């Protein structure tokens, strides 16, 4: 069953082969066996926080903004048959960017599902550490303060992961002023892995 949560983060685009001028769609998929419910929540909250940081405007109906554009976020119940649930989403919505967090075998299945689509895949494997201390660099301190204020708890590395993924999407989409060309978008997302201004 596909669920639409206005405050969560799966980005999908309502377009026909190209992104609408002012919006795009993102799907945030987390493998059901990858993380605990608390860790999954931290990823979603970190991602959501990034979509609320800038580019807001009056009368908005989107879930937030990334790259200067409205972003619509979708989630899917992956507890039972995750492959079928993801396929159902792809059949119903034009997903521009799919963020998938999980183990390599599961990620391989996701890659196969989008092979002949215009969806760009951004994958992450689950983190092994649960301590933020090893990544608490100066640029992240603003994020830590913002997250703590918004959610009343200190972020873990999982919140950092979600935030980082959203910031990467923001940087890539902003540099291209859209999501229209899949190969160019894939390249822009690869560049954000090397250099990202937190």
Q: What angle is formed at CA 119 by the lines to CA 116 and CA 120, rounded to 5 degrees? A: 115
Q: Where are the domains of the chain?
A: 2-188
Tens-place pLDDT, residues 34-50: 788 898 999 999 999 99
Q: What is the chain's Cα-based Rg?
A: 16
Tens-place pLDDT, residues 48-76: 999 998 888 888 889 999 999 999 999 88
CA-nearest of 117, 164, 127 to 13 is 117
The arithmetic mean of pLDDT across residues 113-137, rounded, is: 74
Token pair 């990334």 in the structure block, residue: 66
Rounded distance, CA 78 to CA 163, Å? 21
The arithmetic mean of pLDDT across residues 137-147, rounded, is: 82
Name the class of domain 2-188.
Answer: alpha beta
pLDDT at 81: 74
């Amino acid at each position: 069953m596909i669920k639409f949560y206005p405050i969560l983060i799966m980005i999908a685009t309502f377009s026909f082969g190209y992104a609408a001028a002012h919006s795009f769609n993102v799907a945030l998929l987390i493998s059901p066996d990858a993380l605990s419910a608390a860790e999954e929540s931290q990823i979603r909250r970190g991602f959501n926080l990034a979509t609320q940081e800038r580019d807001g405007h009056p009368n908005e109906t989107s879930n937030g903004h990334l790259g200067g554009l409205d972003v619509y976020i979708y989630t899917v119940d992956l507890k039972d048959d995750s492959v079928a649930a993801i396929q159902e989403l792809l059949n119903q919505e034009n997903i521009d960017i799919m963020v998938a967090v999980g183990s390599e075998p599961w990620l391989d299945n996701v890659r196969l599902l989008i092979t002949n689509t215009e969806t760009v895949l951004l994958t992450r494997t689950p983190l092994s550490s649960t301590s933020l201390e090893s990544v608490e660099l100066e640029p992240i301190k603003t994020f830590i303060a913002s997250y703590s204020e918004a959610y009343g708890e200190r972020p873990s590395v999982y919140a950092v992961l979600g935030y980082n993924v959203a910031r990467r999407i923001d940087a890539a989409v902003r540099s291209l002023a859209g999501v229209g060309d899949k190969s160019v978008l894939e390249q822009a997302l690869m560049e954000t892995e090397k250099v990202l201004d937190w």
